[in-house]
A and B are shown apart, each in its own frame.
Chain A
Protein backbone atom coordinates (compact mmCIF):
# COMPACT_ATOMS: atom_id res chain seq x y z
CA UNK A 1 0.00 0.00 0.00
CA UNK A 2 1.67 3.20 -1.18
CA UNK A 3 -1.18 5.58 -0.58
CA UNK A 4 -1.99 8.32 1.84
CA UNK A 5 -5.74 8.53 2.32
CA UNK A 6 -7.67 11.49 3.68
CA UNK A 7 -11.26 11.82 4.83
CA UNK A 8 -13.53 13.52 4.19
CA UNK A 9 -12.86 14.71 0.65
CA UNK A 10 -15.00 17.79 1.19
CA UNK A 11 -16.14 19.50 4.38
CA UNK A 12 -18.37 22.51 4.93
CA UNK A 13 -18.55 23.90 8.44
CA UNK A 14 -19.78 26.93 10.29
CA UNK A 15 -17.55 29.10 12.42
CA UNK A 16 -18.95 27.60 15.63
CA UNK A 17 -18.61 23.96 14.57
CA UNK A 18 -16.04 21.41 15.69
CA UNK A 19 -14.84 18.99 13.06
CA UNK A 20 -11.86 16.72 12.40
CA UNK A 21 -9.84 15.82 9.36
CA UNK A 22 -8.31 12.36 9.17
CA UNK A 23 -5.26 10.99 7.43
CA UNK A 24 -3.99 7.42 7.22
CA UNK A 25 -0.98 5.68 5.73
CA UNK A 26 0.24 2.09 5.86
CA UNK A 27 3.71 2.54 4.38
CA UNK A 28 5.42 2.29 7.75
CA UNK A 29 6.35 5.95 7.64
CA UNK A 30 7.11 7.53 11.00
CA UNK A 31 6.78 11.18 9.95
CA UNK A 32 3.45 12.74 9.08
CA UNK A 33 2.65 16.27 7.97
CA UNK A 34 -0.22 18.72 7.61
CA UNK A 35 -0.12 21.36 4.89
CA UNK A 36 -2.59 24.11 4.01
CA UNK A 37 -3.05 25.10 0.37
CA UNK A 38 -5.08 28.12 -0.63
CA UNK A 39 -6.45 28.35 -4.17
CA UNK A 40 -3.71 28.90 -6.77
CA UNK A 41 -1.04 28.98 -4.06
CA UNK A 42 1.63 26.49 -3.02
CA UNK A 43 1.17 24.20 -0.02
CA UNK A 44 2.36 25.67 3.27
CA UNK A 45 3.61 23.49 6.08
CA UNK A 46 1.55 23.57 9.28
CA UNK A 47 2.68 20.67 11.49
CA UNK A 48 5.13 17.76 11.49
CA UNK A 49 4.97 14.66 13.67
CA UNK A 50 7.97 12.38 14.06
CA UNK A 51 7.50 9.09 15.89
CA UNK A 52 4.05 10.29 16.98
CA UNK A 53 5.48 13.40 18.64
CA UNK A 54 4.92 16.94 17.42
CA UNK A 55 8.28 18.14 16.08
CA UNK A 56 7.33 21.22 14.07
CA UNK A 57 4.50 23.74 14.55
CA UNK A 58 4.76 26.57 12.07
CA UNK A 59 3.05 29.08 14.39
CA UNK A 60 -0.36 27.76 13.49
CA UNK A 61 -3.34 29.31 15.37
CA UNK A 62 -4.67 27.21 18.22
CA UNK A 63 -8.04 26.73 16.47
CA UNK A 64 -6.12 24.00 14.56
CA UNK A 65 -5.18 21.13 16.86
CA UNK A 66 -3.20 18.18 15.46
CA UNK A 67 -3.17 14.72 16.93
CA UNK A 68 -1.18 11.60 16.07
CA UNK A 69 -2.83 8.68 17.91
CA UNK A 70 -0.54 6.07 16.33
CA UNK A 71 2.07 5.69 13.61
CA UNK A 72 -0.54 5.26 10.87
CA UNK A 73 -3.03 7.97 11.74
CA UNK A 74 -2.97 11.75 11.83
CA UNK A 75 -5.88 13.97 12.75
CA UNK A 76 -6.46 17.70 12.53
CA UNK A 77 -9.13 18.97 14.91
CA UNK A 78 -10.85 22.17 13.89
CA UNK A 79 -12.71 24.56 16.17
CA UNK A 80 -13.96 28.13 15.74
CA UNK A 81 -12.47 28.50 12.29
CA UNK A 82 -12.71 31.63 10.20
CA UNK A 83 -13.78 31.91 6.54
CA UNK A 84 -10.16 32.65 5.61
CA UNK A 85 -9.28 29.14 6.82
CA UNK A 86 -11.11 27.74 3.80
CA UNK A 87 -8.48 25.81 1.84
CA UNK A 88 -7.29 22.40 0.73
CA UNK A 89 -5.69 20.58 3.66
CA UNK A 90 -3.06 18.11 2.60
CA UNK A 91 -1.57 15.30 4.62
CA UNK A 92 1.79 13.76 3.77
CA UNK A 93 4.04 11.07 5.20
CA UNK A 94 7.67 10.08 4.90
CA UNK A 95 10.32 7.90 6.40
CA UNK A 96 12.53 9.43 9.07
CA UNK A 97 16.31 9.31 8.91
CA UNK A 98 18.29 8.79 12.10
CA UNK A 99 18.75 12.15 13.79
CA UNK A 100 16.86 13.71 10.88
CA UNK A 101 20.14 13.56 8.96
CA UNK A 102 18.84 13.38 5.41
CA UNK A 103 15.86 14.13 3.23
CA UNK A 104 13.13 11.56 2.65
CA UNK A 105 10.48 11.87 -0.05
CA UNK A 106 7.12 13.04 1.21
CA UNK A 107 4.04 11.25 -0.13
CA UNK A 108 0.90 13.36 -0.29
CA UNK A 109 -2.74 12.46 0.07
CA UNK A 110 -5.46 13.97 -2.15
CA UNK A 111 -6.47 16.50 0.47
CA UNK A 112 -9.66 17.62 2.18
CA UNK A 113 -11.29 20.67 0.68
CA UNK A 114 -12.59 22.72 3.60
CA UNK A 115 -15.10 25.53 3.32
CA UNK A 116 -15.85 27.66 6.39
CA UNK A 117 -19.08 29.62 6.22
Chain B
Protein backbone atom coordinates (compact mmCIF):
# COMPACT_ATOMS: atom_id res chain seq x y z
CA UNK B 1 0.00 0.00 0.00
CA UNK B 2 0.95 3.66 -0.04
CA UNK B 3 2.93 5.07 2.85
CA UNK B 4 5.00 8.12 3.57
CA UNK B 5 7.21 8.04 6.65
CA UNK B 6 9.93 9.92 8.40
CA UNK B 7 13.24 8.74 9.82
CA UNK B 8 13.43 11.03 12.89
CA UNK B 9 10.53 11.88 15.16
CA UNK B 10 12.30 14.85 16.85
CA UNK B 11 15.09 17.11 15.66
CA UNK B 12 16.72 19.59 18.04
CA UNK B 13 18.91 22.36 16.65
CA UNK B 14 20.42 25.64 17.75
CA UNK B 15 19.22 28.92 16.34
CA UNK B 16 21.20 29.76 13.23
CA UNK B 17 21.98 26.15 12.36
CA UNK B 18 20.77 24.55 9.17
CA UNK B 19 18.10 21.87 9.65
CA UNK B 20 17.46 18.83 7.51
CA UNK B 21 14.22 16.89 7.86
CA UNK B 22 13.97 13.60 5.99
CA UNK B 23 11.12 11.57 4.63
CA UNK B 24 10.84 8.20 2.88
CA UNK B 25 7.98 7.37 0.58
CA UNK B 26 6.87 4.15 -1.03
CA UNK B 27 4.67 5.13 -3.99
CA UNK B 28 7.04 5.71 -6.89
CA UNK B 29 4.13 6.83 -9.07
CA UNK B 30 3.26 9.89 -6.96
CA UNK B 31 3.18 13.15 -8.92
CA UNK B 32 3.80 15.76 -6.25
CA UNK B 33 5.47 15.92 -2.87
CA UNK B 34 4.72 18.66 -0.40
CA UNK B 35 6.07 19.84 2.93
CA UNK B 36 3.72 21.25 5.54
CA UNK B 37 4.49 22.97 8.84
CA UNK B 38 2.07 22.61 11.74
CA UNK B 39 2.47 24.84 14.78
CA UNK B 40 0.78 24.01 18.04
CA UNK B 41 -2.94 24.77 17.90
CA UNK B 42 -2.92 25.48 14.18
CA UNK B 43 -3.67 23.68 10.97
CA UNK B 44 -0.93 22.58 8.57
CA UNK B 45 0.66 25.39 6.58
CA UNK B 46 2.09 24.83 3.10
CA UNK B 47 5.84 25.37 2.87
CA UNK B 48 7.02 24.13 -0.50
CA UNK B 49 6.22 21.47 -3.06
CA UNK B 50 8.12 19.63 -5.76
CA UNK B 51 6.94 17.78 -8.78
CA UNK B 52 8.16 14.27 -9.43
CA UNK B 53 10.07 15.35 -12.57
CA UNK B 54 12.31 17.66 -10.51
CA UNK B 55 15.07 16.84 -8.01
CA UNK B 56 15.46 20.19 -6.28
CA UNK B 57 13.38 23.26 -5.59
CA UNK B 58 14.28 26.32 -3.54
CA UNK B 59 12.11 28.75 -1.65
CA UNK B 60 12.82 31.40 0.92
CA UNK B 61 15.28 29.75 3.37
CA UNK B 62 13.96 26.32 2.40
CA UNK B 63 15.07 23.77 -0.14
CA UNK B 64 13.37 20.50 -0.99
CA UNK B 65 15.36 17.65 -2.49
CA UNK B 66 13.80 14.63 -4.17
CA UNK B 67 15.74 11.44 -4.79
CA UNK B 68 13.50 9.13 -6.74
CA UNK B 69 16.12 6.39 -6.93
CA UNK B 70 15.89 5.75 -3.19
CA UNK B 71 12.42 7.28 -2.73
CA UNK B 72 13.66 9.94 -0.37
CA UNK B 73 12.52 13.51 0.23
CA UNK B 74 14.21 16.10 2.40
CA UNK B 75 13.51 19.61 3.60
CA UNK B 76 16.45 21.86 4.33
CA UNK B 77 15.88 24.98 6.41
CA UNK B 78 18.70 27.51 6.38
CA UNK B 79 19.55 29.62 9.43
CA UNK B 80 16.85 28.00 11.54
CA UNK B 81 14.95 30.38 13.80
CA UNK B 82 12.89 29.78 16.97
CA UNK B 83 9.79 30.51 14.90
CA UNK B 84 10.58 27.43 12.82
CA UNK B 85 9.78 25.21 15.81
CA UNK B 86 6.85 23.06 14.73
CA UNK B 87 5.93 19.62 13.43
CA UNK B 88 6.85 19.14 9.80
CA UNK B 89 4.95 16.71 7.60
CA UNK B 90 5.87 15.48 4.19
CA UNK B 91 2.93 14.57 2.02
CA UNK B 92 2.43 13.07 -1.39
CA UNK B 93 -0.18 13.23 -4.09
CA UNK B 94 -0.67 9.64 -5.27
CA UNK B 95 -1.35 9.04 -8.93
CA UNK B 96 -4.90 8.03 -7.98
CA UNK B 97 -6.11 11.63 -7.89
CA UNK B 98 -4.79 15.13 -7.35
CA UNK B 99 -7.08 15.86 -4.44
CA UNK B 100 -5.88 13.00 -2.26
CA UNK B 101 -3.13 14.19 0.05
CA UNK B 102 -1.34 11.43 1.99
CA UNK B 103 0.67 12.69 4.94
CA UNK B 104 3.78 11.14 6.46
CA UNK B 105 4.23 10.62 10.18
CA UNK B 106 5.81 14.00 11.02
CA UNK B 107 9.02 15.32 12.59
CA UNK B 108 9.05 17.75 15.49
CA UNK B 109 11.67 20.47 15.05
CA UNK B 110 12.82 22.15 18.25
CA UNK B 111 14.96 25.28 17.85
CA UNK B 112 16.85 26.54 20.88
CA UNK B 113 17.85 30.21 21.09
Task: Tell me whether A102 is interfacial, beta carbon within 8 Å.
Answer: yes
A100-B43 Cα distance, complex, nearest whole Å: 24
Whether A55 lies near B99 (C-beta < 8 A) is yes
- Of chain B, the residue at the smallest CB distance from A99 is B98
Return the CB mask of A17-44 against B: 1 if under 8 Å, else 0. Answer: 0000000000000010100000011111
A45-B45 Cα distance, complex, nearest whole Å: 16
A107-B32 Cα distance, complex, nearest whole Å: 16
Residues of chain A contacted by B100 (CB below 8 angstroms)? 45, 48, 56
Question: Interface size (A, Cβ < 8 Å)?
Answer: 30
Q: Which residues of B contact A (CB under 8 A)?
A: 31-32, 34, 41-46, 49, 89, 91, 93, 97-106
- Tell me whether chain B's interface is mostly helix, strand or loop, or mixed: loop
A41-B44 Cα distance, complex, nearest whole Å: 12
Whether A94 lies near B44 (C-beta < 8 A) is no
13 contacts between A and B (CB under 8 A): A4-B43, A41-B106, A42-B91, A42-B103, A43-B101, A44-B103, A48-B99, A56-B97, A94-B99, A97-B98, A103-B32, A104-B98, A108-B45
Whether A33 lies near B99 (C-beta < 8 A) is yes
A50-B103 Cα distance, complex, nearest whole Å: 21
A19-B54 Cα distance, complex, nearest whole Å: 45
Residues of chain B contacted by A92 (CB below 8 angstroms)? 43
Residue among A96, A104, A107, A110 making CB contact with B42, cutoff 8 Å:
A110
